[in-house]
Structure 1
Amino acid sequence: MISSKTMDEICSVLDTYKGRDKVIRTLCYTARLVAGLTSDKDLESKLMAVSKHLSATRTTLRLMDDIPLLKSSLQYGLGKEENNAVMATLGVTTNTIDMSYLVIEKLGWLAEYGLVSGVDRTKCGTLTSACWLASVYLTLIRTIRSLYQTRRMIEDLKSQNEPQTNVFLQKLQAKEKFQMITCVRLSLDIVHAVSTLPKGFLWSSSLKTWQVGLVGTLSSVLGLYQIFAKKNL
Structure 2
Amino acid sequence: MLIVFPGCLYIGRGLQIRECRIGRVDEGALGGLFTVGSVHLQSNQIVRLSPGWSNGMDNIGKLVFTYNTVREPMASTDCLRHEGAQRFEFADNTLHCSCALQWMINAPEEEQWLAENYCGPEENFKALLYFSPAAAGCAPWMPPPLLLQIRECRIGRVDEGALGGLFTVGSVHLQSNQIVRLSPGWSNGMDNIGKLVFTYNTVREPMASTDCLRHEGAQRFEFADNTLHCSCALQWMINAPEEEQWLAENYCGPEENFKALLYFSPAAAGCAPWMPPPPPLLVPSPAPPLPPRPSSSPSSEVPDSFSTVLERFDGRDKTIRSLYFTLVLIANRLRDQRKADQLMAFARQFSRTRLVCRMFSQPSLLLSVLRIPRAFRLSRDGVDFTLASSISVLYLFCGWTELIGLLTESGFVGRTTAHSLRYFGRALRLWVLALALSIIRCLRQIVRRTAANGLTWRKSDREWLKTQLISLVGFSADFVAAVNSLPRGMLWAGKMLPSHCASLHLAASVVGVFKQFM
Alpha-carbon distance in structure 2 between the residues aligned to 1:46 and 1:28: 13
2:380 paired with 1:83: yes
- What aligned pairs does 1:31-180 form with structure 2 within 5 A after superposition? 31-77=327-373, 79-117=376-414, 120-155=419-454, 157=456, 169-180=458-469
Give the TM-score normalised by structure 1.
0.86
3-state SS of 2:413 partner: coil
Which amino acid in 1 is paired with 2:414? S
Matching residue of 1:26: 322
Cα-to-partner distance string for 1:129-162 (whole Å, 9 max, x where unaligned): 100000010011111111112223432635xxxx
Change (3 A) 1:79 1:189: farther
Whichever structure has more strand as a proportion of its residues is 2
Which amino acid in 2 is paired with 1:139? S
Matching residue of 1:162: none
Give the TM-score normalised by structure 2.
0.40
Alpha-carbon distance in structure 1 between the residues aligned to 2:307 and 2:470: 23
Alpha-carbon distance in structure 2 between the residues aligned to 1:35 and 1:82: 48
Higher relative contact order (CA 8 A, sep 6+): 1
2:311 paired with 1:11: no
Which amino acid in 2 is paired with 1:180? L
Range with bigger deviation, 99-108 or 1-10: 1-10
The CA deviation at 1:218 is: 0.7
3-state SS of 1:3 partner: helix
Matching residue of 2:237: none
2:498 paired with 1:199: no
Range with bigger deviation, 90-99 or 118-127: 118-127
Which amino acid in 2 is paired with 1:215? L
Maintained 8 Å contact 1:29/1:213? yes
Whichever structure has more helix as a proportion of its residues is 1
Which amino acid in 2 is paired with 1:157? T
Change (3 A) 1:53 1:84: same
The CA deviation at 1:195 is: 1.8
Alpha-carbon distance in structure 2 between the residues aligned to 1:79 and 1:91: 11
Alpha-carbon distance in structure 1 between the residues aligned to 2:325 and 2:298: 25
Number of matched pairs: 219
Which amino acid in 2 is paired with 1:59? L
Change (3 A) 1:180 1:55: same
Cα-to-partner distance string for 1:69-103 (whole Å, 9 max, x where unaligned): 01222334464444322222212222221111111
Change (3 A) 1:177 1:2: closer
Alpha-carbon distance in structure 2 between the residues aligned to 1:189 and 1:86: 23
The structure with the larger Rg is: 2
Change (3 A) 1:150 1:86: same
The CA deviation at 1:51 is: 1.9
Which amino acid in 2 is paired with 1:200? G
The Cα RMSD (Å) is 2.0
Of the three residues 167, 177, 187, the one matched with 2:476 is 187
Cα-to-partner distance string for 1:183-220 (whole Å, 9 max, x where unaligned): 11101110121122122212223432211221111111
Alpha-carbon distance in structure 1 between the residues aligned to 2:390 and 2:325: 29
Matching residue of 1:164: none
Change (3 A) 1:118 1:81: farther
The CA deviation at 1:180 is: 0.7
Change (3 A) 1:182 1:42: same
The unaligned stretches of length 5 or more in structure 2 are: 1-296
The CA deviation at 1:2 is: 7.2
Alpha-carbon distance in structure 2 between the residues aligned to 1:42 and 1:82: 56
The unaligned stretches of length 5 or more in structure 1 are: 159-168
Alpha-carbon distance in structure 2 between the residues aligned to 1:132 and 1:174: 28
Alpha-carbon distance in structure 1 between the residues aligned to 2:491 and 2:300: 48
Maintained 8 Å contact 1:80/1:88? no
Sequence identity, in percent?
Answer: 27
